[in-house]
A and B are shown apart, each in its own frame.
Chain A
Amino acid sequence: MNLDWEFIVESLPLYGEAMWLTVRLALIAIALSLVLGLVFSLVLFYKVRGLSSIILAYIELSRNTPLLVQLFFLYYGLPKVGIHMSEFTCAVVGMTFLGGSYMTEAFRSGIEAVGRSQLESGLSIGLSKVQLARYVILPQALAISIPSLGANAIFLLKETSIVGAIALMDLMNVAKDLIGMHYKTAESLLLLVLAYLVLVLPLSLLLSWVERKVRHAEFGN
Protein backbone atom coordinates (compact mmCIF):
# COMPACT_ATOMS: atom_id res chain seq x y z
CA MET A 1 0.00 0.00 0.00
CA ASN A 2 1.38 3.38 -0.98
CA LEU A 3 0.70 6.12 1.50
CA ASP A 4 0.43 9.71 0.41
CA TRP A 5 2.95 11.26 2.78
CA GLU A 6 2.30 14.77 1.58
CA PHE A 7 -1.35 14.39 2.48
CA ILE A 8 -0.40 13.01 5.87
CA VAL A 9 1.87 15.95 6.64
CA GLU A 10 -0.76 18.41 5.47
CA SER A 11 -3.42 16.80 7.62
CA LEU A 12 -1.34 16.79 10.78
CA PRO A 13 -2.47 20.24 11.98
CA LEU A 14 -6.11 19.19 11.69
CA TYR A 15 -5.47 16.13 13.81
CA GLY A 16 -3.42 18.20 16.22
CA GLU A 17 -6.31 20.58 16.71
CA ALA A 18 -8.74 17.74 17.25
CA MET A 19 -6.38 16.09 19.73
CA TRP A 20 -6.20 19.34 21.65
CA LEU A 21 -10.02 19.43 21.76
CA THR A 22 -10.05 15.85 23.02
CA VAL A 23 -7.44 16.56 25.66
CA ARG A 24 -9.25 19.68 26.87
CA LEU A 25 -12.55 17.91 27.00
CA ALA A 26 -11.10 14.88 28.75
CA LEU A 27 -9.21 16.95 31.33
CA ILE A 28 -12.27 19.01 32.25
CA ALA A 29 -14.54 15.97 32.37
CA ILE A 30 -12.04 13.93 34.41
CA ALA A 31 -11.53 16.77 36.89
CA LEU A 32 -15.25 17.34 37.32
CA SER A 33 -15.89 13.60 37.60
CA LEU A 34 -13.27 13.33 40.33
CA VAL A 35 -14.86 16.14 42.32
CA LEU A 36 -18.30 14.63 41.86
CA GLY A 37 -17.03 11.17 42.77
CA LEU A 38 -15.28 12.35 45.93
CA VAL A 39 -18.30 14.30 47.16
CA PHE A 40 -20.76 11.52 46.29
CA SER A 41 -18.68 8.79 47.86
CA LEU A 42 -18.48 10.77 51.09
CA VAL A 43 -22.24 11.32 51.05
CA LEU A 44 -22.62 7.54 50.65
CA PHE A 45 -20.08 6.90 53.40
CA TYR A 46 -21.93 9.14 55.86
CA LYS A 47 -25.22 7.61 54.69
CA VAL A 48 -26.83 11.03 54.37
CA ARG A 49 -30.50 10.20 54.27
CA GLY A 50 -32.33 10.92 51.01
CA LEU A 51 -29.22 12.17 49.28
CA SER A 52 -27.65 8.71 49.39
CA SER A 53 -30.60 7.09 47.60
CA ILE A 54 -30.56 9.78 44.93
CA ILE A 55 -26.87 9.17 44.34
CA LEU A 56 -27.34 5.40 44.18
CA ALA A 57 -30.10 5.87 41.59
CA TYR A 58 -27.88 8.24 39.62
CA ILE A 59 -25.06 5.68 39.61
CA GLU A 60 -27.34 3.01 38.16
CA LEU A 61 -28.75 5.35 35.51
CA SER A 62 -25.34 6.59 34.50
CA ARG A 63 -23.67 3.19 34.37
CA ASN A 64 -26.44 1.40 32.54
CA THR A 65 -27.00 3.77 29.64
CA PRO A 66 -24.73 4.55 26.67
CA LEU A 67 -22.92 7.88 26.51
CA LEU A 68 -24.17 8.37 22.95
CA VAL A 69 -27.79 8.32 24.06
CA GLN A 70 -26.97 10.56 27.03
CA LEU A 71 -25.37 13.05 24.66
CA PHE A 72 -28.25 12.97 22.17
CA PHE A 73 -30.69 13.59 24.97
CA LEU A 74 -28.65 16.52 26.27
CA TYR A 75 -27.99 18.00 22.84
CA TYR A 76 -31.23 17.41 20.95
CA GLY A 77 -33.72 16.65 23.73
CA LEU A 78 -33.11 19.24 26.41
CA PRO A 79 -33.44 22.34 24.18
CA LYS A 80 -37.08 21.33 23.73
CA VAL A 81 -37.64 22.02 27.41
CA GLY A 82 -35.71 25.25 27.28
CA ILE A 83 -32.24 24.06 28.28
CA HIS A 84 -29.74 25.09 25.64
CA MET A 85 -26.07 24.18 25.83
CA SER A 86 -23.23 24.52 23.37
CA GLU A 87 -21.78 21.34 21.87
CA PHE A 88 -18.73 21.55 24.10
CA THR A 89 -20.79 22.13 27.24
CA CYS A 90 -23.03 19.22 26.29
CA ALA A 91 -20.00 16.99 25.90
CA VAL A 92 -18.59 18.09 29.26
CA VAL A 93 -21.92 17.58 31.00
CA GLY A 94 -22.48 14.20 29.35
CA MET A 95 -19.02 12.91 30.13
CA THR A 96 -19.20 14.15 33.69
CA PHE A 97 -22.59 12.49 34.10
CA LEU A 98 -20.95 9.28 32.93
CA GLY A 99 -17.61 9.68 34.70
CA GLY A 100 -19.05 10.85 38.01
CA SER A 101 -20.60 7.46 38.69
CA TYR A 102 -17.43 5.58 37.78
CA MET A 103 -15.33 7.82 40.00
CA THR A 104 -17.84 7.51 42.85
CA GLU A 105 -17.53 3.74 42.68
CA ALA A 106 -13.74 3.94 42.65
CA PHE A 107 -13.62 6.21 45.70
CA ARG A 108 -16.27 4.16 47.41
CA SER A 109 -14.40 0.88 47.09
CA GLY A 110 -11.30 2.62 48.43
CA ILE A 111 -13.23 3.90 51.42
CA GLU A 112 -14.76 0.50 52.02
CA ALA A 113 -11.33 -1.09 51.93
CA VAL A 114 -10.32 0.95 54.97
CA GLY A 115 -11.25 -1.45 57.74
CA ARG A 116 -14.05 -0.83 60.19
CA SER A 117 -11.59 -1.23 63.01
CA GLN A 118 -9.56 1.69 61.65
CA LEU A 119 -12.68 3.82 62.02
CA GLU A 120 -13.19 2.59 65.57
CA SER A 121 -9.59 3.28 66.36
CA GLY A 122 -10.07 6.86 65.14
CA LEU A 123 -13.30 7.22 67.08
CA SER A 124 -11.67 5.91 70.24
CA ILE A 125 -9.33 8.88 70.36
CA GLY A 126 -12.25 11.24 69.99
CA LEU A 127 -12.04 12.22 66.31
CA SER A 128 -15.17 13.81 64.87
CA LYS A 129 -16.74 12.36 61.73
CA VAL A 130 -15.14 15.03 59.57
CA GLN A 131 -11.74 14.55 61.20
CA LEU A 132 -12.12 10.81 60.76
CA ALA A 133 -12.63 11.28 57.01
CA ARG A 134 -9.82 13.79 56.69
CA TYR A 135 -7.09 12.17 58.77
CA VAL A 136 -7.88 8.46 58.78
CA ILE A 137 -10.13 7.38 55.90
CA LEU A 138 -9.33 9.55 52.90
CA PRO A 139 -5.53 9.34 53.01
CA GLN A 140 -5.78 5.55 53.03
CA ALA A 141 -8.73 5.32 50.65
CA LEU A 142 -7.11 7.58 48.06
CA ALA A 143 -4.00 5.46 47.92
CA ILE A 144 -6.13 2.35 47.43
CA SER A 145 -8.30 4.03 44.78
CA ILE A 146 -5.53 5.39 42.58
CA PRO A 147 -5.38 2.48 40.12
CA SER A 148 -9.13 2.45 39.51
CA LEU A 149 -9.27 6.25 39.33
CA GLY A 150 -6.57 6.06 36.69
CA ALA A 151 -8.40 3.35 34.77
CA ASN A 152 -11.53 5.50 34.83
CA ALA A 153 -9.59 8.50 33.54
CA ILE A 154 -8.36 6.43 30.59
CA PHE A 155 -11.88 5.14 30.02
CA LEU A 156 -13.18 8.73 29.87
CA LEU A 157 -10.41 9.80 27.55
CA LYS A 158 -11.42 7.01 25.16
CA GLU A 159 -15.09 7.87 25.50
CA THR A 160 -14.36 11.32 24.06
CA SER A 161 -14.34 9.55 20.69
CA ILE A 162 -18.13 9.67 20.87
CA VAL A 163 -18.58 13.44 21.13
CA GLY A 164 -18.21 13.78 17.37
CA ALA A 165 -21.80 12.58 17.24
CA ILE A 166 -22.97 15.96 18.50
CA ALA A 167 -21.09 17.89 15.83
CA LEU A 168 -17.86 18.61 17.68
CA MET A 169 -14.87 18.66 15.35
CA ASP A 170 -13.08 15.85 17.16
CA LEU A 171 -10.68 13.23 15.82
CA MET A 172 -13.47 11.03 14.51
CA ASN A 173 -15.05 13.83 12.51
CA VAL A 174 -11.72 15.04 11.18
CA ALA A 175 -11.00 11.56 9.86
CA LYS A 176 -14.50 11.18 8.47
CA ASP A 177 -14.33 14.53 6.69
CA LEU A 178 -10.93 13.82 5.19
CA ILE A 179 -12.18 10.48 3.89
CA GLY A 180 -15.27 12.11 2.44
CA MET A 181 -13.43 15.00 0.81
CA HIS A 182 -10.21 13.41 -0.40
CA TYR A 183 -10.86 9.66 -0.46
CA LYS A 184 -7.57 9.21 1.43
CA THR A 185 -9.04 6.44 3.52
CA ALA A 186 -5.90 4.62 4.58
CA GLU A 187 -4.01 7.78 5.49
CA SER A 188 -6.91 9.30 7.42
CA LEU A 189 -7.59 6.13 9.40
CA LEU A 190 -3.92 5.56 10.10
CA LEU A 191 -3.63 9.03 11.54
CA LEU A 192 -6.78 8.46 13.56
CA VAL A 193 -5.43 5.28 15.13
CA LEU A 194 -2.05 6.89 15.73
CA ALA A 195 -3.67 9.90 17.36
CA TYR A 196 -5.42 7.73 19.92
CA LEU A 197 -2.31 5.66 20.38
CA VAL A 198 -0.36 8.81 21.21
CA LEU A 199 -3.07 9.96 23.60
CA VAL A 200 -3.82 6.73 25.42
CA LEU A 201 -0.72 4.54 25.29
CA PRO A 202 1.50 6.64 27.58
CA LEU A 203 -1.28 6.86 30.15
CA SER A 204 -1.94 3.17 29.91
CA LEU A 205 1.74 2.37 30.48
CA LEU A 206 1.88 4.84 33.36
CA LEU A 207 -1.13 3.22 34.93
CA SER A 208 0.26 -0.30 34.80
CA TRP A 209 3.48 1.03 36.32
CA VAL A 210 1.49 2.67 39.13
CA GLU A 211 -0.51 -0.51 39.64
CA ARG A 212 2.66 -2.52 40.12
CA LYS A 213 4.01 0.11 42.53
CA VAL A 214 0.86 0.17 44.60
CA ARG A 215 0.69 -3.59 44.80
CA HIS A 216 4.22 -3.78 46.17
CA ALA A 217 4.00 -0.83 48.51
CA GLU A 218 0.80 -1.50 50.38
CA PHE A 219 0.77 0.15 53.74
CA GLY A 220 0.51 -2.95 55.84
CA ASN A 221 -0.66 -2.39 59.35
Chain B
Amino acid sequence: MTKTGELLLEVQEVQKYFGDRQVLKGIDLQVERGEVIVILGPSGCGKSTLLRCLNGLEPVQGGHILYREQDLAGAEVNWRELRQHIGMVFQNYELFPHMTVLENILLGPLKVQKRERAEAVQQAQQLLERVGLLDRAQDYPRQLSGGQKQRIAIVRALCMNPDIILFDEVTASLDPEMVREVLDVILGLAKQGMTMIIVTHEMGFARSVGDRIVFMDQGQVCEMAPPEQFFTNPATERAQHFLNIFEYNKL
Protein backbone atom coordinates (compact mmCIF):
# COMPACT_ATOMS: atom_id res chain seq x y z
CA MET B 1 0.00 0.00 0.00
CA THR B 2 2.71 2.43 0.92
CA LYS B 3 5.68 0.79 -0.67
CA THR B 4 8.74 2.97 -0.70
CA GLY B 5 11.17 0.97 -2.72
CA GLU B 6 13.64 0.97 0.17
CA LEU B 7 14.80 -2.53 0.93
CA LEU B 8 14.50 -3.10 4.69
CA LEU B 9 15.01 -6.81 5.21
CA GLU B 10 16.35 -9.43 2.91
CA VAL B 11 16.17 -13.17 3.52
CA GLN B 12 18.54 -15.22 1.36
CA GLU B 13 18.60 -19.00 1.09
CA VAL B 14 17.73 -19.51 4.77
CA GLN B 15 18.01 -23.10 5.99
CA LYS B 16 16.74 -24.39 9.29
CA TYR B 17 16.90 -27.86 10.79
CA PHE B 18 15.22 -29.41 13.81
CA GLY B 19 17.60 -32.29 14.39
CA ASP B 20 17.76 -34.12 11.07
CA ARG B 21 14.53 -32.68 9.77
CA GLN B 22 14.91 -29.69 7.50
CA VAL B 23 12.05 -27.27 8.11
CA LEU B 24 13.25 -24.33 6.01
CA LYS B 25 14.76 -25.33 2.68
CA GLY B 26 16.30 -22.17 1.32
CA ILE B 27 13.88 -19.30 1.82
CA ASP B 28 14.27 -16.07 -0.20
CA LEU B 29 12.26 -13.00 0.68
CA GLN B 30 12.68 -9.27 0.29
CA VAL B 31 10.77 -6.82 2.41
CA GLU B 32 10.52 -3.14 1.52
CA ARG B 33 9.87 -0.44 4.05
CA GLY B 34 6.14 0.07 4.43
CA GLU B 35 5.27 -3.25 2.88
CA VAL B 36 2.84 -5.75 4.38
CA ILE B 37 3.72 -9.33 3.66
CA VAL B 38 1.30 -12.10 4.51
CA ILE B 39 2.65 -15.63 4.75
CA LEU B 40 0.12 -18.38 4.12
CA GLY B 41 0.50 -22.11 4.07
CA PRO B 42 -0.67 -25.36 5.63
CA SER B 43 0.30 -26.02 9.25
CA GLY B 44 3.81 -27.34 9.58
CA CYS B 45 4.99 -25.59 6.41
CA GLY B 46 7.58 -23.60 8.35
CA LYS B 47 5.94 -20.18 8.29
CA SER B 48 6.03 -19.64 12.05
CA THR B 49 9.56 -20.99 12.22
CA LEU B 50 10.64 -18.45 9.60
CA LEU B 51 9.14 -15.66 11.68
CA ARG B 52 10.92 -16.91 14.80
CA CYS B 53 14.22 -16.99 12.91
CA LEU B 54 13.75 -13.34 11.97
CA ASN B 55 13.49 -12.51 15.69
CA GLY B 56 16.41 -14.68 16.76
CA LEU B 57 14.23 -17.08 18.75
CA GLU B 58 15.50 -19.89 16.53
CA PRO B 59 19.03 -20.08 15.14
CA VAL B 60 19.37 -20.73 11.41
CA GLN B 61 21.82 -23.20 9.93
CA GLY B 62 22.41 -21.61 6.55
CA GLY B 63 21.76 -18.57 4.40
CA HIS B 64 21.62 -14.90 5.28
CA ILE B 65 19.16 -12.50 6.87
CA LEU B 66 20.26 -9.01 5.95
CA TYR B 67 19.01 -6.08 7.95
CA ARG B 68 20.70 -2.67 8.21
CA GLU B 69 23.90 -4.00 6.67
CA GLN B 70 24.05 -6.79 9.27
CA ASP B 71 23.68 -10.51 8.72
CA LEU B 72 21.31 -11.81 11.36
CA ALA B 73 22.23 -15.36 10.42
CA GLY B 74 25.78 -14.72 11.58
CA ALA B 75 27.20 -15.68 14.93
CA GLU B 76 27.91 -12.24 16.33
CA VAL B 77 24.47 -10.70 16.39
CA ASN B 78 23.38 -8.39 19.16
CA TRP B 79 19.81 -9.61 19.36
CA ARG B 80 19.04 -7.41 22.34
CA GLU B 81 19.66 -4.37 20.18
CA LEU B 82 17.97 -5.82 17.11
CA ARG B 83 14.78 -6.91 18.82
CA GLN B 84 14.09 -3.28 19.59
CA HIS B 85 13.74 -2.77 15.84
CA ILE B 86 12.06 -6.05 14.98
CA GLY B 87 8.99 -6.46 17.17
CA MET B 88 6.97 -9.62 17.55
CA VAL B 89 3.43 -10.46 18.59
CA PHE B 90 2.66 -14.04 19.63
CA GLN B 91 -0.33 -16.31 19.21
CA ASN B 92 -0.96 -16.53 22.96
CA TYR B 93 -0.35 -12.81 23.65
CA GLU B 94 2.19 -13.65 26.36
CA LEU B 95 1.56 -10.55 28.39
CA PHE B 96 3.39 -10.66 31.73
CA PRO B 97 0.67 -11.77 34.15
CA HIS B 98 2.22 -10.09 37.21
CA MET B 99 2.29 -6.61 35.64
CA THR B 100 -0.46 -4.17 34.82
CA VAL B 101 -1.21 -3.34 31.22
CA LEU B 102 0.81 -0.13 31.45
CA GLU B 103 3.76 -1.88 33.13
CA ASN B 104 3.71 -4.50 30.40
CA ILE B 105 3.94 -1.82 27.75
CA LEU B 106 6.58 0.23 29.55
CA LEU B 107 8.97 -2.59 30.45
CA GLY B 108 10.82 -2.47 27.13
CA PRO B 109 10.91 1.32 26.66
CA LEU B 110 12.10 1.94 30.22
CA LYS B 111 14.42 -0.99 30.92
CA VAL B 112 15.75 -1.81 27.48
CA GLN B 113 15.65 1.53 25.71
CA LYS B 114 16.18 3.54 28.92
CA ARG B 115 13.74 6.21 27.80
CA GLU B 116 12.28 8.98 29.93
CA ARG B 117 9.31 7.69 31.87
CA ALA B 118 7.06 10.65 31.14
CA GLU B 119 7.70 10.44 27.44
CA ALA B 120 7.20 6.66 27.32
CA VAL B 121 3.99 6.89 29.34
CA GLN B 122 2.69 9.51 26.96
CA GLN B 123 3.36 7.32 23.95
CA ALA B 124 1.86 4.29 25.68
CA GLN B 125 -1.30 6.24 26.43
CA GLN B 126 -1.58 7.47 22.87
CA LEU B 127 -1.23 3.93 21.58
CA LEU B 128 -3.72 2.58 24.13
CA GLU B 129 -6.16 5.25 23.07
CA ARG B 130 -5.72 4.24 19.47
CA VAL B 131 -6.65 0.62 20.21
CA GLY B 132 -9.49 1.79 22.46
CA LEU B 133 -8.07 0.44 25.73
CA LEU B 134 -6.84 3.54 27.53
CA ASP B 135 -9.23 2.88 30.40
CA ARG B 136 -7.64 -0.54 31.01
CA ALA B 137 -4.12 0.78 31.61
CA GLN B 138 -4.11 -0.16 35.30
CA ASP B 139 -5.78 -3.54 34.86
CA TYR B 140 -3.97 -6.87 35.03
CA PRO B 141 -3.98 -9.16 31.99
CA ARG B 142 -6.27 -11.67 33.72
CA GLN B 143 -9.00 -9.02 33.79
CA LEU B 144 -8.98 -8.67 30.01
CA SER B 145 -10.55 -10.69 27.23
CA GLY B 146 -8.38 -12.47 24.69
CA GLY B 147 -8.96 -9.82 22.07
CA GLN B 148 -8.07 -7.07 24.50
CA LYS B 149 -4.93 -8.90 25.58
CA GLN B 150 -3.83 -9.27 21.99
CA ARG B 151 -4.40 -5.58 21.31
CA ILE B 152 -2.25 -4.79 24.36
CA ALA B 153 0.43 -7.13 23.07
CA ILE B 154 0.44 -5.20 19.80
CA VAL B 155 0.75 -1.92 21.69
CA ARG B 156 3.62 -3.41 23.69
CA ALA B 157 5.46 -4.16 20.46
CA LEU B 158 4.58 -0.77 18.94
CA CYS B 159 5.79 1.20 21.91
CA MET B 160 9.35 0.14 21.14
CA ASN B 161 9.03 2.06 17.83
CA PRO B 162 10.15 -0.90 15.75
CA ASP B 163 10.93 -0.87 12.02
CA ILE B 164 9.10 -4.12 11.46
CA ILE B 165 6.55 -6.10 13.43
CA LEU B 166 6.15 -9.83 13.05
CA PHE B 167 2.69 -11.27 13.72
CA ASP B 168 2.63 -14.99 14.49
CA GLU B 169 -0.96 -16.27 14.07
CA VAL B 170 -2.18 -13.60 16.42
CA THR B 171 -5.85 -14.47 16.04
CA ALA B 172 -5.52 -18.23 16.21
CA SER B 173 -6.30 -18.45 19.94
CA LEU B 174 -9.14 -15.97 19.90
CA ASP B 175 -12.84 -16.60 20.05
CA PRO B 176 -14.38 -15.75 16.66
CA GLU B 177 -16.12 -12.62 17.89
CA MET B 178 -12.80 -11.14 19.02
CA VAL B 179 -10.86 -11.72 15.82
CA ARG B 180 -12.22 -8.63 14.18
CA GLU B 181 -11.06 -6.14 16.83
CA VAL B 182 -7.49 -7.39 16.54
CA LEU B 183 -7.45 -7.45 12.77
CA ASP B 184 -8.81 -3.89 12.68
CA VAL B 185 -5.82 -2.72 14.69
CA ILE B 186 -3.44 -4.40 12.26
CA LEU B 187 -5.29 -2.94 9.27
CA GLY B 188 -4.92 0.49 10.84
CA LEU B 189 -1.19 -0.05 11.17
CA ALA B 190 -0.96 -1.09 7.53
CA LYS B 191 -2.66 2.13 6.46
CA GLN B 192 -0.10 4.12 8.42
CA GLY B 193 2.70 2.44 6.57
CA MET B 194 4.03 0.07 9.23
CA THR B 195 6.20 -2.68 7.79
CA MET B 196 4.75 -6.02 8.82
CA ILE B 197 5.17 -9.71 8.21
CA ILE B 198 2.01 -11.55 9.10
CA VAL B 199 1.47 -15.26 9.47
CA THR B 200 -2.25 -15.97 9.52
CA HIS B 201 -5.05 -18.31 8.58
CA GLU B 202 -7.57 -15.54 8.01
CA MET B 203 -7.92 -15.53 4.23
CA GLY B 204 -10.18 -12.51 3.91
CA PHE B 205 -7.88 -10.52 6.12
CA ALA B 206 -4.82 -11.65 4.17
CA ARG B 207 -6.44 -10.48 1.00
CA SER B 208 -7.30 -7.03 2.26
CA VAL B 209 -4.19 -6.23 4.29
CA GLY B 210 -1.39 -7.79 2.25
CA ASP B 211 0.73 -6.09 -0.37
CA ARG B 212 2.13 -9.45 -1.24
CA ILE B 213 1.14 -13.00 -0.39
CA VAL B 214 3.90 -15.49 0.24
CA PHE B 215 2.67 -19.05 0.01
CA MET B 216 4.83 -21.62 1.74
CA ASP B 217 4.65 -25.39 1.69
CA GLN B 218 7.05 -27.99 3.07
CA GLY B 219 9.71 -25.49 4.02
CA GLN B 220 9.78 -23.69 0.69
CA VAL B 221 8.26 -20.58 -0.82
CA CYS B 222 6.03 -21.95 -3.57
CA GLU B 223 4.45 -18.80 -4.77
CA MET B 224 4.71 -15.06 -4.25
CA ALA B 225 2.06 -12.81 -5.71
CA PRO B 226 -0.16 -9.77 -5.11
CA PRO B 227 -3.29 -10.81 -3.18
CA GLU B 228 -5.76 -10.41 -6.01
CA GLN B 229 -3.71 -12.60 -8.29
CA PHE B 230 -3.01 -15.19 -5.60
CA PHE B 231 -6.60 -15.59 -4.53
CA THR B 232 -8.23 -15.47 -7.93
CA ASN B 233 -5.63 -17.14 -10.05
CA PRO B 234 -2.99 -19.05 -8.07
CA ALA B 235 -0.12 -20.18 -10.24
CA THR B 236 0.86 -23.40 -8.50
CA GLU B 237 -1.14 -26.51 -7.95
CA ARG B 238 -0.24 -26.61 -4.27
CA ALA B 239 -1.64 -23.13 -3.73
CA GLN B 240 -4.82 -24.08 -5.59
CA HIS B 241 -5.19 -27.12 -3.43
CA PHE B 242 -4.59 -25.07 -0.28
CA LEU B 243 -7.20 -22.49 -1.29
CA ASN B 244 -9.69 -25.22 -2.17
CA ILE B 245 -9.47 -26.64 1.32
CA PHE B 246 -10.30 -23.24 2.69
CA GLU B 247 -13.27 -22.94 0.34
CA TYR B 248 -14.51 -26.19 1.76
CA ASN B 249 -14.14 -24.89 5.30
CA LYS B 250 -16.38 -22.01 4.47
CA LEU B 251 -19.28 -24.23 3.44
Question: Measuring CB to CB, which residues of chain A are less than 8 angstroms from any residue of chain B?
Answer: 115, 117-118, 120-128, 131, 135-136, 139-140, 143, 219-221
Contact = CB atoms under 8 A, between A and B. Distances in A.
A131 B112 contact: yes
Interface residues of B, number: 31
Given A123-B79, A124-B83, A126-B160, A143 B98 contact: yes
Nearest to B146: A221
A135 B98 CA distance: 9
A219 B92 contact: no
Nearest to A221: B97
Q: Is the interface of A mostly helix, strand, loop or mixed?
A: helix
B96 interface: yes
B94 A219 contact: no
Q: Point out which of B94, B98, B113 has the most chain A C-beta atoms below 10 A from its C-beta.
A: B94
A10 B84 CA distance: 71
Contacts of A139: 98
Contact of A219 (B56, B79, B97, B108): B97
A81 B205 CA distance: 75
Given A118-B94, A128-B80, A220 B160 contact: no
A23 to B, nearest CB: 32
B94 A127 contact: no
A139 B97 CA distance: 10
Contact of B94 (A120, A126, A135, A220): A120
5 contacts: A117-B90, A125-B84, A126-B83, A126-B112, A221-B95
B97 A135 contact: no
Interface in B58-98: 79-84, 87-88, 90, 92-98
Across the A-B interface, give the 10 residue pairs with the lowest CB-CB distance, nearest first: A121-B94, A219-B97, A125-B108, A220-B142, A126-B112, A124-B88, A126-B83, A126-B84, A139-B98, A126-B80
Given A124-B55, A126-B84, A219 B160 contact: no
